[in-house]
Amino acid sequence: MVPSYLVEQQVDCSRLVNASKARVIPFEGGGGSSSSSAGCKKQVDNGECLVLLEFVKDIPADGTGGTFSCEAAGSSKFHGHPYMKIWAEDADGQRIGRVAEWPAKQCNGRISWYSTQSLGISLSMLSSAKLRMELISNKTVIGSLAVPANEVSGHGVSVRELDSRPTGFPWKPSAVSMQVFGSTAVPKKHTVFFVRHGESIWNRAQAKMQVYEQVRTTDHGLSDKGREQAEALRTRLLSADKPQELGLAAGMLQPDVVYVSPLTRAVQTAIISLGQLLVKPDGLGELVLMPNAREKLNYGGFDSWSTKTGLDILQHAVDEIKTLYKGQDSRDDVLETFAKLRVDIEEVQDRWWCEGVAESPAQLQVRIDQFMTQLMYSPHNTAVVVGHSHFFRAVFKKYLSNKFKAERTTLAKCLSDGKLSNCGVCRVEVEVGPDGLPVITSAELVLNTTTIPDGDYGVNGCCTNTGVACRSDIDNEMFEEEEMPFGDQLPDRLPDQLLKSSAEASAATAVRAATGAATGTDSVNR
């Protein structure tokens, strides 16, 4: 009999794709699990008027000879950076409330935001108002729309064509997808579990100073140790006979939504550690790929470069899991679990990764704000986010409340200056602050999680849920940007001859980025 690990397990990734039910805002009640489906029933909630801007598709050409296409994204230095403005006007055409603006993004023909903003007025004020929106690029309005607010408010997902402005060549009308609803449709407080991925091949190479292993490829997957860490987290969650046995982590057993960074190590961690839990008969059964949760791209951070979108992300995850479990009987179990899941790839249909060789502090702050807005205006009580240490650290640094920092000084410092251990979990409470912005009012390390000083590579603990003193002294600034010897478009695997031909430059660059020795700053993405 042929051992199971020698039989190639096939996973049809196209069958995994499904728009998440977690996307739909409920029509009635004060939030909770999003089990409602879109229909024609009128939204009965009041409260603040919120707009969930999902995406704009079929973006027209930029009018300068370039096009906003996937091909252009891979071959042109200019990809376009459209942004969206939405506001309300009364019957006299006067603006009421505020102008909500969604940030500029690289454009590949479709832009996905899936984030919510307030129009600064009550939902009841929309009864006789119009919603106006403008899609802007290069200081030019390339699409606009004026629609009676009562035609889109409370009707679930609404898709409308924009009046496109560019002339001189044919184009397909752009279309915007959105939901308009009252703030009482979402909870005022959310419990969120931040889960760091398991040890990656990059982490392992970094700890051993294996520079070639770090720069020979991009978007590194899990190491064998990382797989074992993800399996240990899975075992801990599945072994609890009662939710109470997990203490503050009990909410992880039945989350309302699971968001996952599209980077390979995070996708693998989610599938291995949470997959079996999610595919249970009463389980959620799905993952949502969330590019805003990706790792901060530091200079030289090849592990946070990606070139994959949509289905290719899932196929790559399958291939990497096969490699990770090569020669092991448990491979088929993991792949079978993956095949039972459904994955929402709406936000990664176009280029979702950072431009250039590093993410500037300003770019990172915009993304963090969008991430927190997605959590704050989620219609779910409990969420899980599988992501990355430096990104989570940046979130803690900005969004931990002053009250929490004053009362839990040591833990606040560890979370803001250190990083979660691999497959570590931090339970946070996200609420709307007095200024209407999201704030983290509570944070607790659970499931024996520790934080570690950056640069320790997991050797020494920093903080635990018992309050061990923090020993981190981190300068959290970015590397100064320099020109990469490979340009700003990296392939999945860097050719050996390229590495050898630029050995001095690439080695010096990688060593500095991998160790942080040159500046003592953020070492790498992890």
Give tens-digit pLDDT for 373-399: 999 999 999 999 999 999 999 999 999
Question: Residue 58: what pLDDT?
Answer: 86
311-324 and 331-340 are packed helices; what angle lies between their axes, rounded to 10 degrees?
Answer: 160
- Of 236, 174, 185, the closest CA to residue 50 belongs to 185
Cβ-contact 354, 303 below 8 angstroms: no
Q: Is the pLDDT of residue 509 over 60?
A: no
Give tens-digit pLDDT for 103-152: 998 877 889 999 999 999 998 888 889 999 999 988 889 899 999 998 88
Give tens-digit pLDDT for 301-360: 555 566 788 899 999 999 999 999 988 888 889 999 999 999 999 999 888 877 776 788
> Look-up: residue for tokens 């900005």?
398
Burial label for 2, CB within 10 Å (0-12, 13-18, 19+), is: exposed
Q: Is the pLDDT of residue 27 over 80?
A: no
Task: Find the helix or strand (DSSP H, E) in which 361 lies.
Answer: helix 361-376
> What average pLDDT does this structure show over 169-192?
87
> What average pLDDT does this structure show over 190-194?
98
**Residue 298 pLDDT class (50, 70, 90 cuts):** low
Burial label for 493, CB within 10 Å (0-12, 13-18, 19+), is: exposed
Two structure tokens written together for 206: 């970094």
Using CA atoms in the order 244, 249, 254, 255, what is the torsion angle rounded to 10 degrees? 150
Q: Is the pLDDT of residue 274 over 90?
A: yes
Pairing between strand 382-387 and 257-260?
Answer: parallel
Beta bridge partners of 87: 132
Alpha carbons 191 and 57: distance in angstroms, whole number: 32
Q: Is the pLDDT of residue 2 over 50?
A: no
Question: Residue 61: what pLDDT?
Answer: 60
CA–CA–CA angle 216, 347, 296 (5° rounding) = 45
Question: Residue 455: what pLDDT?
Answer: 61
Give tens-digit pLDDT for 208-265: 454 434 444 557 789 999 999 999 999 999 998 788 889 999 999 999 999 999 999 9
Question: Residue 306: what pLDDT?
Answer: 65
In the chain, which segments carry CATH 2.60.40.150? 45-183
65 vs 364, higher pLDDT: 364
Alpha carbons 339 and 342: distance in angstroms, whole number: 8
Q: Which class does domain 45-183 fall in?
A: mainly beta
User: Helical H runs in 156-296?
Assistant: 201-207, 211-215, 224-238, 264-278
In the chain, which segments carry CATH 3.40.50.1240? 189-480
Tell me the one-letter amino acid at 448: N
Cβ-contact 6, 332 below 8 angstroms: no
For domain 189-480, give the fold.
Rossmann fold (3.40.50)
